[in-house]
Structure 1
Amino acid sequence: MASGASPAVEPVVGEPAAVADLGDRRALLVADVHAGIEVGLRYERGVELDSRADERRERLCDLIAETDADRLVVLGDLAHRIAAPEGDEREELEALIRAITDRVPMTLVEGNHDGGVAEAFADDLDVIGASGGVLGGKDGPTAGVGVLHGHTWPNPGLLDADVVCMGHEHPQVRLEDAVGGSRVERAWLRGTLDPNAFLEGGEADPDAVADPPELVVFPAFNERSGGTWINVDGQSFLAPFLPDALPAGDAYLLDGTRLGDFRRV
């Protein structure tokens, strides 16, 4: 990892979003918006749900204003259906992208659900490929923030960042009370990254192994998108490098409550 002061990546309390302080810029980061999910659920499972498209769009716009961010970065799966957007899903995406880009520029890190999105909105979005990239760091005092979705093996260059942020997993925890009731809540995972487990083939540069970045796994922005129950037996992770690349990570609820080692929650 490059030397220098680490940029702050701080969750917004109570929200599945974080702000990355890149020195002279502030980026709002979210993952797994899954715009058009209600269309997808109707098509895939025959489930009819009222659309929350307006609510999702308004929440993102409010977060941009509240955090004084000058860019929105979506860590993959801006869209829901794994196909080129069309119909109601495309209309939701058009309205969402227009509302955001009327305020700030928008970057999409391509996820496995974003097929055709970059092409459909090429004039409106900055796009980072599926293997990820680094925000900031080139000429600034920090090594920058690595970003990827997490459905494929990452670019080794992400190990040069101070912190790596990803989506895809939609981490959740199932919590039980004293009388046997339970609830499921979205969670953050955060800890030091194991570079050898992070890279396909496990051959990280020795310098990266000596000073590895932090890994932050984002909760899904869309509360209807399900996820990986990290504390339920039999659940498996989706990313090819997890959980091995996070050997000692902690879990946190959206309100900031620290649950401790995610493997023991």
Structure 2
Amino acid sequence: MPEPSFIIVDDVATTIAIRDSSRLLLDHLHKALARNQAATPDPRSLIQPQQASRLLSLPTELRLMICKYMTLSPASADSLAWKGAYFACRQLQNDMRAELKPEQDLAKYIASNHASWQPDITVGLRHPQLNLIRDIAVHTPIPGHGYDIERFWSKTMSSLYALYLNHLQVILTGCHFYRLPYYDLKSWRSHLFIDYVGKGKVHCKKVTFTIDELANEMNGRKMCTRIANVIPGTKILYLMEIVQDGVGRQTERVYSSEVRFRPLPLRN
């Protein structure tokens, strides 16, 4: 009996043994491969070169002048609309950042809105590649009896709620034992946030309130309860997460909404 001969099909590690006498099988195999290649084109052929961009072909000075009509500042709702242009290509991204400087815009916004006494406001981490301002962390002492919390919240925190951020974190610092009646976030006056949601003044996707001293202890975030809520008298739906430590103290509350606390659309 003659030894089988071998062929390599389509340059892949698929070895098919075909006897010399089985020419008909070989013909069928070649036809099947031809049909398969016709139905599945080379993936490289799917990447078509794009035509030259009219915008990018302009001189740099003109492109930067056009960028002046855009914004990346989280203080403006228009920053959401211009993210498409920002993500379009690396050159346009560099142009927009060079001209718009969103960090400076945010610093000016905070400086123009803070109260006479302001907390330590720090810009949170940005995406390492996209490099956009998405998160802000606010460090402020836990409000006590002699602290004008209502005035501070109305003048400072309301301006931060209004930013178009992915995450605003309010970190309450200092000793919780002397400042909160129940020594944890059960004492927190939630209307300092919920009232602003009901008035349509919160534009962040997520707002977190954290008692720094409790949350950073061992088992400070041991349990988490998620509750879906609706603001009374509105169609604003949000998710609330109550985080507790090992002994049941509320160390953190998270309010989140993918639609930035907007009312749900009416259904027919």
Q: Tell me, yes or no, whether TM beats 0.5.
A: no
How high is the TM-score relative to the length of structure 2?
A: 0.28
How high is the TM-score relative to the length of structure 1?
A: 0.29
Q: As a proportion of its length, which structure holds more strand?
A: 1
Larger CA Rg, structure 1 vs 2: 2
Q: As a proportion of its length, which structure holds more helix?
A: 2
